[in-house]
């Protein structure tokens, strides 16, 4: 598990070097204001020194449900007032996986990205995002101390983004089938009869992405302790083989590998799916639709995400971007977002007096489960827990495609 102590560790130079060798470097230019040649107020190295007038536009890559303007539910809108206050018109491109986010950032043309830990250091190493000046974000001091210097956005003491929200990948289940919460991820990893007497085969789902190998590894940490897995993102060859073998066996159970939240919501509503790893967002949407759904974190713990708003190296609208990063940390935005998505605010004060979140909202969303969550991060070869002999993410990605190609 990713403990509080582990979160404080700073990645070594060799880890960053390994990431750099796997990425195509891009030239980092001093940001310029849109529509002109005058650079933004940047100091040495392109670090912004003062936030000026907004450039009128802001483009953001985000997870579905992360940036709402009241179109789905009028009660959830943290974009319209920002636009009115700043003159920065927000456009959003949603992405269903971290790999998709990295691909979009490689294409360019965006200002911000809400990246999870399995993407953030790849973006830093590839020079697709730039260091931010936290002095220009007054609310940074309000962020949960466990997240202010987290290793997935802090490299050599430099911050490459602003924490946004965090949460676990929960086990979502149908309460008509499971009268009590499942206690193990075995319900999605191993063929078995469920409490209704029927097999789980064809009735479960799993997340679609190479990082899901870590979910298999997490399950094996408890089921096969003799493997010696200490971190589900740091796997030697034998541990990695065990995890990928488990995924190959799981293929016969899984009805769909999901990355589109709307599709998973539909499947649980109409297709007879009864258990899956999910984000709290889907749980909230299904409960709101009066579906018999609940969620839990099983005994093995859970993988999860602590997302960071990162500034593109070639952003054309840095002033609007800084205004958004500050806006994203105000108590109302944090609380409203947590209520909508089912996540946990990175600003603890947002848990208080938020009409949408309610008095127990943060507790319901898992604020007390921080130490049970193994936060997504990019697997690297030179790892800490297996004497620098781990399987890197490039191999995870290639092998995952092969696993999904087998029926």
Kindly report, residue by residue over 78-137, the tens digit of the pLDDT.
999 999 999 999 999 999 999 999 999 999 999 999 999 999 999 999 999 999 999 999
Quick one: pLDDT at residue 41?
Answer: 57
Least confident span in 45-49, 194-198, 259-263? 45-49
Please give the sequence-ordered ranges of beta strands (E in DSSP) within 158-229, or none if there are none.
158-159, 162-168, 170-174, 204-207
Count of structural domains, the chain: 2
What is the reported pLDDT for 37? 33
List Cα–Cα distances, 75 to 103, 166, 286, 339, in angstroms: 32, 22, 17, 11
Rounded distance between C-alpha atoms, residue 213 and residue 245, angstroms: 10
SS3 73: coil
What one-character DSSP code corresponds to residue 92?
Answer: E
- Asked whether residue 252 falls in the same domain as residue 193, the answer is yes
- SS3 of residue 88 by DSSP: coil
CA 86 to chain centre: 27
Give tens-digit pLDDT for 171-195.
Answer: 999 999 999 999 999 999 999 999 9
Question: Each residue of 340-396: pLDDT tens digit?
Answer: 999 999 999 999 989 999 888 999 899 999 999 999 999 999 999 999 999 999 999
- pLDDT for 46 equals 73
| Residue 371 is assigned to a structural domain of this protein | no
Same domain, 294 and 283: yes
350-383 b/e with 16+ CB inside 10 Å = b? Answer: bbeebeebeeebbebbbbebbebbbbbbbbbbbb
pLDDT at 4 (0 to 100): 39
Q: Is the pLDDT of residue 223 over 50?
A: yes
Q: Which letter does DSSP use for residue 12 in this model?
A: P
What are the tokens at 152? Answer: 């997935």
Q: Is the pLDDT assigned to residue 28 strictly greater than 50?
A: no
Query: Is residue 145 located within the same domain as residue 261?
Result: no
Shared-domain flag, residues 33 and 113: yes
Least confident of 18-22, 129-133, 320-324, 351-355: 18-22
Is residue 45 predicted with pLDDT exceeding 80? no
CB 129 within 8 A of CB 123: yes
More confident: 14 or 67: 67
| Dihedral sign for Cα atoms in the order 348, 349, 353, 357 | negative
- pLDDT tens-digit readout, 245-274: 999 999 999 999 999 999 999 999 999 999
> Which CATH number belongs to the domain containing residue 342 in this structure?
3.40.190.10
Predicted confidence at residue 20, as pLDDT, reads: 39
- pLDDT for res 33: 35
Whether 260 and 280 map to the same domain: the answer is: yes
Mean pLDDT of the region 63-86: 96
Dig out the tokens for 240 from the structure. 């990695």
Residues 6+ positions from 363 with CB-CB distance below 8 Å: none
What is the pLDDT at residue 405? 83
pLDDT of residue 21: 38
Domain that holds residue 162: 4-167+304-365
User: How far is the C-alpha of 330 from the C-alpha of 58, rounded, in Å?
Assistant: 18
pLDDT value at 23 more than 60: no
Least confident of 11-25, 44-58, 67-81: 11-25
3-state secondary structure of 310: strand
Q: Are residues 232 and 322 part of one domain?
A: no
Q: CA 67, CA 387: separation in Å to the nearest integer? A: 41
- Ranges of beta strands (E only) in 16-140 are 57-62, 89-94, 112-115
Three-state DSSP string of 242-270: HHHHHHHHHCCCEEEEECCHHHHHHHHHH
DSSP 154: E
189 and 52 co-located in one domain: no
Confidence of residue 42 (pLDDT cuts 50, 70, 90): low
């Amino acid at each position: 598990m990713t403990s509080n102590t582990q979160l404080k560790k700073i990645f070594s130079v060799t880890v960053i070097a390994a990431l750099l060798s796997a990425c195509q470097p891009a030239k980092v230019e001093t940001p310029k204001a849109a529509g002109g040649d005058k650079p933004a107020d940047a100091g040495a190295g392109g670090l912004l020194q003062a936030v000026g007038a907004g450039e009128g536009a802001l483009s953001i890559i985000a997870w579905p449900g992360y940036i709402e303007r009241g179109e789905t539910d009028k009660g959830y809108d943290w974009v319209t007032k920002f636009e009115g206050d700043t003159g920065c018109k927000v456009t959003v491109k949603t992405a269903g996986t971290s790999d998709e986010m990295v691909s979009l950032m490689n294409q360019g043309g965006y200002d911000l990205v809400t990246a999870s830990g399995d993407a953030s250091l790849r973006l830093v190493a590839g020079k697709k995002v730039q260091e931010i000046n936290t002095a220009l974000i007054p609310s940074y001091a309000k962020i949960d101390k466990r997240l202010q210097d987290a290793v997935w956005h802090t490299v050599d003491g430099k911050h490459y983004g602003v924490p946004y929200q965090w949460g676990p990948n929960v086990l979502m289940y149908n309460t008509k089938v499971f009268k009590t919460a499942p206690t193990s991820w075995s319900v999605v990893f191993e063929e078995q009869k469920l409490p209704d007497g029927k097999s789980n085969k064809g009735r479960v789902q799993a997340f679609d992405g190479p990082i899901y190998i870590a979910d298999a590894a997490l399950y094996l940490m408890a089921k096969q302790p003799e493997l010696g897995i200490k971190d589900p993102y740091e796997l030697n060859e034998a541990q990695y083989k065990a995890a990928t073998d488990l995924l190959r066996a799981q293929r016969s159970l899984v009805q769909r590998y999901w990355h589109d939240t709307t599709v998973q919501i539909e499947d649980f509503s109409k297709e007879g799916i009864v258990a899956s790893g999910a984000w709290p967002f889907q749980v909230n949407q299904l409960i709101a639709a009066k579906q018999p759904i609940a969620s839990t974190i099983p005994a093995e713990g859970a993988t999860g995400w602590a997302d960071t708003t990162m500034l593109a190296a070639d952003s054309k609208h840095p002033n609007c971007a800084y205004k958004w990063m500050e806006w994203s940390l105000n108590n109302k935005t944090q609380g409203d977002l947590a209520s909508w998505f089912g996540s946990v605010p990175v600003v603890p004060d947002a848990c208080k007096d938020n009409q949408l979140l309610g008095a127990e909202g943060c507790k319901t969303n898992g604020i007390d489960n921080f130490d049970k969550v193994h936060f997504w991060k990019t697997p690297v070869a030179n790892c800490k827990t297996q004497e620098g002999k781990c399987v890197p993410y490039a191999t995870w990605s290639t092998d995952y495609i092969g696993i999904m190609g087998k029926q």
